[in-house]
């Protein structure tokens, strides 16, 4: 474990003249700092916590500098890395319920999702998921974004038959639904997607929001960009801290980390909401992107496939069943509010 206790030479207690100790933590991110919204969420958190705390300081590392992005959970749990900034959907291959705390197809949008996490049972269940699967980590909700696009394709997709046989980069639970419709999926990190598209290893991809996808250059190869993001109506991000490291932190440091993450949720959501429309205009007017909306038949097919996936994941997995039931109960209650209070979308 890399964290060390360093004396802060600039700060002395008034009583006794003793220097305060500051815990230094190395944090790996699943997203490179060159990426808007995703990458800046991690660096913004580091700036926030380092700006308010004299008890703890974080150092940010891009994916691969300490460990590959998809190995961060194990690395934090075993103590080889102090902390990570990622999304729990990256651990879907290890834990069936992982993506229920990341992005749920046809599921809650950002406000509804945060309500379940922060004011219902979501956060408790999220921590239990790691505890009951033997991971020595503390999880703190630390970011959220609005819907993503649902894919970049080289050719227009009008029917389920047009999907069959495609190789596609896809994330989380949505990938399992796509496989029901004849798509072969793989989960690639951001830096690996464009080369895979370029050499034909994959035929299509989804990754994130228009501004982020534009930075990665998908439009150079796949011109058809489909909406809405049925597979990720919103996406949560997590800060994981090694459990022993967390316990060693002062209560003040723990509180400051949680407060910095709450602030980060706000700025992360606002950044995505503010910047993506300009990227969509630029994509169409400068990059030749053709924006498409899924027709009702395709959305129905996606939702039908997702319903099958849920039933299969719940079968024989009591924890998945518990989380899914809790989320559905919350959403049923939330619907009483949302269907009455919000204006209909045009």
Secondary structure of residue 44 in the 3-state scheme: helix
- pTM higher than 0.85: yes
- One fold for 4-144+234-274 and 151-232+278-341: yes
Question: Which CATH class name applies to 4-144+234-274?
Answer: alpha beta
CA distance 32 to 209: 15
Q: What 8-state DSSP symbol labels residue 134? A: T
What pLDDT was estimated at residue 21? 77
CA distance 77 to 225: 37
What pLDDT was estimated at residue 20? 56
> 151-232+278-341, what's its fold?
D-Maltodextrin-Binding Protein; domain 2 (3.40.190)
22: β partners? 6
For 175-200, give one letter per residue: b (16+ CB within 10 A) or e: bbbbebbebebebbbbeebbebbeee
Give the residue among 108, 211, 231 at the shortest CA–CA distance from 169.
231
Per domain, the residue ranges of the chain are 4-144+234-274, 151-232+278-341
CA distance 145 to 342: 20
What pLDDT was estimated at residue 335? 97
Instruction: For the chain, state the CA radius of gyration.
Output: 21
**195-211 residue pLDDT tens:** 999 999 999 999 999 99
User: How many other β-carbons are positioned within 10 Å of the β-carbon of residue 126?
Assistant: 23
Contact 225/149 with Cβ under 8 angstroms? yes
- Tokens 């919204």 appear where? 37
What pLDDT was estimated at residue 4? 42
* Low-confidence spans in the chain with pLDDT less than 50: 1-19
């Amino acid at each position: 474990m890399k964290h060390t206790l360093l004396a802060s030479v600039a700060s002395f207690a008034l009583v006794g003249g003793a220097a305060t100790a500051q815990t230094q933590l190395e944090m790996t991110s699943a997203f490179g700092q060159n990426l808007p919204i995703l990458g800046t969420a991690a660096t913004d958190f580091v700036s926030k916590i380092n700006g308010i705390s004299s008890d703890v300081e974080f150092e940010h590392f891009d994916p691969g500098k300490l460990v590959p992005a998809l190995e961060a959970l194990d690395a934090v749990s075993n103590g080889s890395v102090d902390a990570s900034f990622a999304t729990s959907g990256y651990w879907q291959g290890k834990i069936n319920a992982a993506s229920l705390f990341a992005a749920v197809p046809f599921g809650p949008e950002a406000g509804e999702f945060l309500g379940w996490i922060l004011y219902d049972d979501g956060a408790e269940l999220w921590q239990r998921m790691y505890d009951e699967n033997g991971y020595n980590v503390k999880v703190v909700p630390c970011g959220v974004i609005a819907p993503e696009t649902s894919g970049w394709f080289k050719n227009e997709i009008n029917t389920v038959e047009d999907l069959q046989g495609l190789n596609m980069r896809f994330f989380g639970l949505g990938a399992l639904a796509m496989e029901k419709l004849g798509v072969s999926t793989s989960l690639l990190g951001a830096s690996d997607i464009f080369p895979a598209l370029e050499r034909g290893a994959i035929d299509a991809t989804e990754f994130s929001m228009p501004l982020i996808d534009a930075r990665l250059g998908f439009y150079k190869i796949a011109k058809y960009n489909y909406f809405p993001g049925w597979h990720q109506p919103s996406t949560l991000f997590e800060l994981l801290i090694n459990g022993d490291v967390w316990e060693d932190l002062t209560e003040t440091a723990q509180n400051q980390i949680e407060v910095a993450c709450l602030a980060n949720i706000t700025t992360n959501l606002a950044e995505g909401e503010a910047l993506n429309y300009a990227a969509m205009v630029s994509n169409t007017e400068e990059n030749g992107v053709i924006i498409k909306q899924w027709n009702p038949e395709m959305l129905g097919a996606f939702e039908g496939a997702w319903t099958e996936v849920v039933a299969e994941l719940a079968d024989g997995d009591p924890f998945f069943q518990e989380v899914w039931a809790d989320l559905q109960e919350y959403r049923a209650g939330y619907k009483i509010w949302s269907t009455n209070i919000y204006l209909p979308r045009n």
